[in-house]
Chain A
Amino acid sequence: MNQPIENGVMVYAEQKKGIVHPVSLELLGKGRELADKLNVELWGILLGHNIKGKAETLIHYGADRVFLYDDPTLEEFDVVRYKHVLVELVREVKPQLILMGATPLGRSLAPRVAAALNTGLTADCIDIQIDDKGEIVQIRPAFTGNILAYIKTRSKPVMATVRYRVMKPLTKDPSRKGEVIEKPTPKIPDTGLKVLGEISTRRVNLAEADIIVSGGRGLKRKEDLNMLKELASILGGVLGVSRPLVDEGWVSKEHQVGFSGNTVKPKLYIACGISGSPQHIAGMRDSEIIVAINIDQSAPIFRIADYGIVGDLYEVIPKLIETLKRLKKHE
């Protein structure tokens, strides 16, 4: 292949221990669409150690070229080191758009890169479009999702972090051809950061769950969460909660859905005894199907629900469990 042409669309491929984060594959799908519209190449950039095999994967998901930095110093995520590598590459190949997942890593790394390049960055986008003038439009929810802001960036490159699970990845095509460019990793002096290790791995991953059964203040005692856990288990889902239950110390923050917890987008979200504060709704409003079970008919949660039962969750949930169990036996 020729030298990369300037103005490409670049996707930062986040990986951990050689596993590429699914949001990066989604971004390659979106990036492919945007690159085709802009008539430019789609590039992936991959940093880490012992990850050479993953570069091809990015091509199978849509990249034309992958810039690969494989080096022992990149084993752990050192935000300053990673920033140096990205900034150096961006200055060399001059992409017009850089997309990163709005993951904790992306939301720590992207602003550093943007500030170093003195360019604009839009957080947590749910869509990127090209308008009639060929300009890049970034769309993001603001004010706990009450509004959608349409944003343009006047500097280059345009940078955006994009929410997980809103874009669709392309189907993996192992016959797709592209070029992997192995880049030497710049020698970077001490950054002041030392990642000493992972001390705990997330056990529940609400962001990836297809079914979430969530409890809120309608629950009277911590033990009553078992009822929701049972329902979640029958459905093959996971337990979520609204913030008050985390504040009460009933359950760890990993389970929290909402503005200061997890943003989720399951196929089915069952809210039990959750009234629906704006903060909670901000974290689950994009679920495919929302079911609300609440004793108070005027609870805001019903306004965004597809289906609802007005009733005492202490009667409704056991009945629901029983009904599902019966069905399960029959099938």
Chain B
Amino acid sequence: MDKGLHIIVLIKQVPDIEKVKFNVEEGRIDRSSAPLETNPFDLNALEAAIQLKERIGGYVTVISMGPPQAESSLRDALARGADRAILLTDKLFAGADTLATSYTLATAIRKVGHFDLIICGEKTVDGDTGQVGPEVAEHLNIPHVAYVCEIKSATLDKLLLVSDMGDKYLIEVKLPALITVTKDINTPRLPTLRNVLKAKKATIEVWNANDLAGYGEVCRFGLQGSMTTVFKIVFPSEGTRKGLIFHGDDAVEKLVEVLRERGVLRLESTD
């Protein structure tokens, strides 16, 4: 680990968003209704780390905060090429908003010690905030580049990146730094069977709040450290659309007619 980049990848285990069900009466998400998977964007983050390691050498540590079952995502990350996996799990970490989550992750990174680069997915499919990455960077007082869609070049002390902010920018960042990556950056590889078997036997380090106590303030973890509260969940009604289906040979004419009535067709001649 003394040669190359020490890269930390932050991953999250999330419910498969296509299958998750909602308990409308109780106003909550039934997380047990959907199988768990690694947040898809995080697989791009991991792949970016593995590719950098292959290019210039290095060592990849994956960190995940979550319930004990998040271990399976970490094992999958090992099978895909990560070298070390750390699970942050404790009841004290639960109920965290992005501020408390990022603080806890940053505290764990301080405990890890030396690092050159942190890579995160641009957002998670369940939280959909994209906030944790930049917040971790701020807690650690390092620069960050969000929405990285290409790593043009990498050395042991700086990266040349393309950041997709709608318009694309070429940005140079000195290490240590944090980047968040978009899905465009790469196509994550699948783990080989051999590596899956190897990862099954690997050790996942488990850290709880006590283990982090010397590196940050425990009162900033979890619910206690969270500043935002969801106090109500509403299911938007979908019944407001007309749902008018046109049939038959004149379906197209009927559609055009109704769109004209609603004033959305601009048919004035342009030539």
User: Chain B nearest CB: distance from A115 CB in Å?
Assistant: 4
Of the 9-residue stretches B48-56, B167-175, B189-197, B199-207, which lies at the interface with chain A?
Answer: B167-175
- Identify which of A107, A144, A153, A328 contacts B146 (C-beta below 8 A): A107
Q: Is the CB of B99 within 8 A of A145?
A: no
- The 7 lowest CB-CB distance pairs between A and B, nearest first, are A120-B227, A115-B138, A123-B129, A120-B228, A150-B232, A108-B146, A192-B143
Cβ–Cβ contact A310 & B247, under 8 A: yes
Distance, CA A108 to CA B22, complexed state (A) = 30
Given contacts A123-B128, A193-B172, A268-B259, A202 and B99 within 8 Å (CB-CB): no
Question: When the two chains form their complex, are residues B234 and A112 in contact, meaning their CB atoms are under 8 A apart?
Answer: no
| In the bound complex, CA of A104 to CA of B146 (Å) | 8
User: Are A309 and B170 in contact (CB-based, < 8 A)?
Assistant: no
Which residues of B come within 8 Å of A, CB atoms?
A: 17-18, 20, 22, 29, 41, 97-99, 102-103, 125-135, 137-139, 142-147, 160, 162, 164-174, 177, 183-184, 220, 226-236, 238, 241-247, 251-253, 255-256, 258-259, 262, 264-269
CB within 8 Å: A-B pair count: 243
5 contacts across the A-B interface (CB closer than 8 A) = A109-B134, A110-B131, A115-B138, A260-B183, A306-B242
A297 to B251, CA, bound (A): 14
Knowing A148-B233, A278-B18, say if A123 contacts B130 (CB, 8 Å). Answer: yes
Q: When A150-B232, A196-B170 are in contact, do A235 and B251 touch as well, CB less than 8 Å?
A: no
Chain B residue with the shortest CB-CB distance to A76? B169
8 A Cβ contacts from A183-207 to B:
191-202, 205
Q: Mark A117-128, 1 if CB is under 8 A from B, else 0.
A: 011111110000
Contact flag A267-B264 (CB < 8 Å), given A120-B227, A124-B128: yes
What's the nearest-Cβ distance from chain B to residue A85, in Å?
14
A268→B232 CA distance, assembly (Å): 31
B175 to chain A, nearest CB (A): 8
| B106 CB, nearest partner CB in chain A, Å | 9
Contact B138 A111 (CB under 8 A): yes
Contact check, A152 vs B231: say whether CB atoms are below 8 A apart: yes
Contact with B along A297-331 (1 / 0, CB 8 A): 10000111111111100001001100110011101
Chain A: interface residue total (CB-CB under 8 A): 88
Contact B99 A328 (CB under 8 A): no
Give the CA-CA distance A307 to B183 in the complex, in Å: 33
A103 at the interface (CB under 8 A from B): yes
B229 touches A112 (CB 8 A): no
Whether A279 contacts B17 by the Cβ 8 Å rule is yes
Say whether A289 faces chain B, with CB atoms less than 8 Å apart. Answer: yes
**Chain B residues positioned under 8 Å from A264 (CB to CB):** none
Known: A147-B29, A154-B227. A305 touches B243 (CB 8 A): yes
The yes or no answer to A28 lying at the interface (CB within 8 A) is no
List residues of chain B with CB within 8 A of the CB of A144.
Answer: 17, 125, 128
Given contacts A121-B228, A155-B227, A253-B184, contact A320 B252 (CB under 8 A): yes
A195 to B171, CA, bound (A): 5
Partner of A192, one of B160, B173, B243, B255: B173
